[in-house]
Amino acid sequence: MPTRVAIHSSVERIFPPEKLQSLLSELDVEVSDDVAEGTASGDAGDFDAVVSFGYEPGFLEADLDWIHCVRAGYDEFPLDALRERGVRLTNSTGLHGDSVGETALGFMLQFARRLHRYRSDQADKAWNPPTWDEAFTLNGESVCVVGLGTLGLGVARRADALGMDVAGVRRTPTPVEHVSEVYTPDELVGAISDARFVALTVPLTDETEGLLGAAELDAMREDAYLVNVARGGVVDQPALVEALRSGDIAGAGLDVFAEEPLPKDSPLWEMENVVVTPHAAAATVDYADRIAALVRENVRRREAGDSLTNLVV
């Protein structure tokens, strides 16, 4: 039996659902939010699978055996409940090394070359060259990349290519290409305390929630910059605001926040040493094509009775 796939409208957050439907037109695939109700065309039987950005409680009511999350981060999905119901969850890790890697380096280059400041000055037609000791080069500077999977490697590879000294943190302390020293989470404070940049690229889990709190921010250099392209919850955001205000760190490039969209009254919007991006680090025009390839491969595996790639539970 061919796999009947529903594309949930939440994928709109990244690309039009119809775009993915047309890329997968050789499959039995429909854009539908009523996964429990079956196909809009009234055919008997429910969907087997749903491709979604977010989680809906209705997914557990439907007779699905597979959910594909179009994000790498699956922290919003109830893993225990899915496991109990025998619903498999796959994610989209592996797709974002280039996009997020380039965004993270973009943040770093902006701070080193002061581009963020000139862009703000441009709004006032203000000609403000840097002071003699303000600008620096990434070449010769150091970065600590916390999380060394797809994103972390995307950052490490680029930082290494620009002549930076790259250290990293992960639970498995095996050598990683482009990373001179790999630390474990219990060594986090030591790992970040010498770095000019700290880049967060870990999933949000019980272990990583609030990983970067007041003590870690305090341990960072006063001329250090934080880059968060992981999840807002990995950082204690009030402690970050305080560290930025008090000059405990020099600045931050933030793609992700405790609450998204970032509320209008957040002090982060108006800080001269902060660059805010709207959870856009992974955005790229070929995102839907990459998701289509992943879904196609897993439909093939499902129908062959093989284990799915990018399986979470």
Asked if residue 254 binds ligand 7N6 (CB under 6 A), the reply is no
Asked if 134 is an active-site residue, the reply is no
Task: Compute the least distance from the CB of residue 281 to ligand NDP, in Å.
Answer: 4
Omega cis (within 30) before 261: yes
Which of 148, 282 has the CB closer to ligand 7N6?
282
Please tell me the distance from the alpha carbon of residue 64 to that of residue 281, in angstroms, as a whole number: 31
> What does the DSSP 8-state code read for residue 208?
T
Q: How many CB atoms lie within 10 A of CB 83?
A: 13
Look at residue 27 and give the partner it binds from ligand NDP, ligand 7N6, none, a contact being a CB closer than 5 to 8 Å depending on partner kind: none
Residue numbers of the site for ligand NDP (CB under 6 A)?
Answer: 72-73, 93, 96, 100, 147-152, 169-172, 185, 201-205, 207-208, 229-231, 255-256, 279, 281-282
Please tell me the distance from the alpha carbon of residue 137 to that of residue 116, in angstroms, as a whole number: 15
Which of 112, 256 has the CB closer to ligand NDP?
256
Q: Are 17 and 61 in contact (CB under 8 A)?
A: no
Asked if residue 282 binds ligand 7N6 (CB under 6 A), the reply is yes
Asked if 260 is an active-site residue, the reply is yes
Q: Are 241 and 214 in contact (CB under 8 A)?
A: no
CB burial of residue 127 (10 Å; 0-12, 13-18, 19+): exposed
* Residue tagged active-site, from 222, 260, 272, 303: 260
Q: How many CB atoms lie within 10 A of CB 281?
A: 25
Task: Compute the least distance from the CB of residue 151 to ligand 7N6, in Å.
Answer: 9
With CB under 6 A as the rule, give the number of residues binding ligand 7N6: 8
Asked if residue 14 binds ligand 7N6 (CB under 6 A), the reply is yes
Asked if residue 283 binds ligand 7N6 (CB under 6 A), the reply is yes
Look at residue 201 and give the partner it binds from ligand 7N6, ligand NDP, none, a contact being a CB closer than 5 to 8 Å depending on partner kind: ligand NDP
Asked if residue 155 binds ligand 7N6 (CB under 6 A), the reply is no
Which of 36, 313 has the CB closer to ligand NDP?
313
Backbone φ, ψ for residue 227 (5° rounding): -120, 120
Strands 197-200 and 181-183: unpaired
Asked if residue 7 binds ligand 7N6 (CB under 6 A), the reply is no
Task: Compute the least distance from the CB of residue 127 to ligand 7N6, in Å.
Answer: 36
Please tell me the distance from the alpha carbon of residue 45 to that of residue 216, in angstroms, as a whole number: 53
* H or E, element range at 146: strand 142-146
Backbone φ, ψ for residue 132 (5° rounding): -60, -30
Using CB under 6 A, pick the residue from 8, 71, 117, 158 that binds ligand 7N6.
71
Interface pattern 72-101 for ligand 7N6 (x via CB under 6 A): xx------------------x---x-----
Cα–chain center distance at 9? 20
Asked if 259 is an active-site residue, the reply is no
CB burial of residue 26 (10 Å; 0-12, 13-18, 19+): exposed
| Active-site amino acid positions | 231, 260, 279
Binding site for ligand 7N6 (CB under 6 A): 14, 71-73, 92, 96, 282-283
